[in-house]
């Protein structure tokens, strides 16, 4: 894999600290994220027997879902810049006996994507490129003429209380910190929230027929308040703020824990903690 310099720091973060955090909270994350991915695939199912590329596939569970949808005559290929995610995905596809799923490590912005594919899909895997237009252009080049793209991306943070509520609570306590030597994940989870920006990026990358569908649903961020607190402190904007602050010796654990407990308490319902979430299903066609 030829790592573009622009994404080198983000890839270091994804293959290091973020891989470890995603592994620790995998059950919570995958359950929450899959509500959005599965609904997007239900509305826009890949064609049977088609070849689909899954961008920024992480542990590869969406790749397996797509492999099942396209059937044995089709194929699902997961690509991710972080080799540790790819190794895990390959091992799980082997034990699931998914003969039509494969994975490879590559930077979507800089490397060959080994096409051609009939379509590309991504569940939250396209918001971290240093240059989204360059990355989307590379995706388009890997598609057949008229091939489709479907991306699930977070809408604006104000409609994503599952993450933003914790972010606001932590920001009250932790001063803004420089990220120093700590690697960060790139533009970030809300970088594709603006439909105007993303439609301009897609058109610049050579896509057409751009469409946006909004999908709102509450997602589980923990089986109880303790797990939701641990999740908020590890991942999302609040988790990132705390990680960078800790690297600079800032420790406000007691105040942060108290603030997060009271901010997240209204989300406790029946069998878990559920926060509001909102995504765009972005569709486009290669010209
Ligand atoms: C939020 S995770 C989503 C993972 C998975 N799609 C899911 O829904 O569980 C973002 C993923 O994008 C990957 N990623 C970030 N930058 C990338 C790049 N330049 N090329 C390929 N993958 C990238 C990360 O390694 C990570 O696995």
Model pLDDT for residues 199-216, shown as the tens digit of each residue: 999 999 999 999 999 999
The span from the CA of 162 to the CA of 252, in Å, is 22
- pLDDT tier for residue 184 given thresholds of 50, 70 and 90: confident
Nearest atom in ligand 1 to 4's CA: 19
Report in angstroms the alpha-carbon separations of 255 from 165, 188, 216, 284: 16, 26, 31, 45
Q: How far is CA 259 from CA 96, 167, 256, 262, 281, in A?
A: 42, 11, 5, 5, 33
For the record, the structure tokens of 126 come out as: 């396209």
Q: How do residues 225-284 score in pLDDT, each as one tens digit?
A: 999 999 999 998 899 899 889 888 888 999 999 999 999 999 999 889 999 999 999 999
| CA-nearest residue, atom 10 of ligand 1 | 125
Ligand 1 in contact with 124 (CB < 6 A)? Answer: yes
Q: Check pocket membership of 121 for ligand 1, CB cut-off 6 A.
A: no
Of 15, 65, 76, 81, the residue with max ligand 1 atoms within 8 A of its CB, to mutate for a pocket test, comes to 81
| pTM metric for this prediction | 0.94
CA of 186, closest atom in ligand 1: 16
Task: Give me the pLDDT at residue 210, please.
Answer: 98
Residue boundaries of the structural domains of the chain: 5-158+182-221+278-286
What is the model's pLDDT at position 178? 72
- Which pLDDT score, from 0 to 100, does residue 253 have? 92
- The CATH number of the structural domain formed by 5-158+182-221+278-286 is 3.40.50.150
pLDDT reading at 143 higher than 90: yes
Q: According to DSSP H, which parts of 71-112 are helical? A: 83-96
Q: What percent of the chain clears pLDDT 70, i.e. is strictly above it?
A: 97
Ligand 1 centre from 153 Cα, in Å?
12
pLDDT at 186: 73
**Looking at the predicted structure, is the pLDDT value of residue 179 above 80?**
no
- Tell me if 123 CB under 6 Å of ligand 1: yes
pLDDT for position 2: 59
CA-nearest residue for atom 14, ligand 1, is 56
pLDDT single digits (tens) 105-126: 999 999 999 999 999 999 999 9
What share of the chain in percent tops pLDDT 90? Answer: 86
């Amino acid at each position: 894999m030829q790592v573009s310099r622009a994404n080198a720091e983000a890839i270091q973060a994804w293959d290091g600290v973020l891989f470890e955090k995603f592994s620790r909270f995998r059950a919570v994350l995958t359950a929450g994220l899959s509500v959005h991915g599965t609904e997007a695939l239900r509305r826009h199912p890949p064609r049977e027997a088609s070849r689909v590329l899954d961008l920024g596939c992480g542990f590869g569970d969406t790749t397996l879902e797509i492999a099942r949808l396209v059937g044995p005559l089709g194929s699902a290929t997961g690509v991710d810049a972080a080799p540790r995610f790819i190794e895990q995905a390959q091992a799980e596809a082997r034990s699931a006996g998914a003969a039509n799923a494969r994975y490879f490590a590559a930077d979507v912005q800089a490397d060959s994507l080994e096409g051609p594919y009939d379509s590309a899909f991504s569940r939250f895997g396209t918001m971290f490129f240093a240059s989204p237009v360059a990355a989307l252009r590379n995706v388009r080049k890997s598609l057949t003429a008229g091939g489709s793209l479907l991306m699930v991306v977070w809408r604006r943070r104000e409609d994503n209380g599952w993450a933003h509520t914790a972010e606001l609570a932590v920001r009250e306590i932790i001063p803004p910190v420089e990220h120093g030597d700590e690697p960060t994940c790139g533009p970030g989870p809300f970088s594709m929230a603006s439909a105007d920006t993303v439609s301009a990026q897609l058109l610049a990358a050579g896509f057409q027929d751009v469409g946006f569908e909004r999908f709102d649903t509450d997602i589980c961020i923990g089986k109880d308040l303790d797990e939701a607190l641990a999740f908020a402190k590890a991942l999302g904007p609040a988790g990132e703020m705390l990680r960078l602050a800790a690297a600079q010796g800032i420790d406000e654990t007691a105040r942060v824990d108290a603030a997060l407990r009271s901010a997240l308490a209204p989300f406790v319902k029946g069998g878990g903690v559920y926060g509001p979430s909102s995504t765009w299903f972005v569709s486009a066609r290669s010209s």
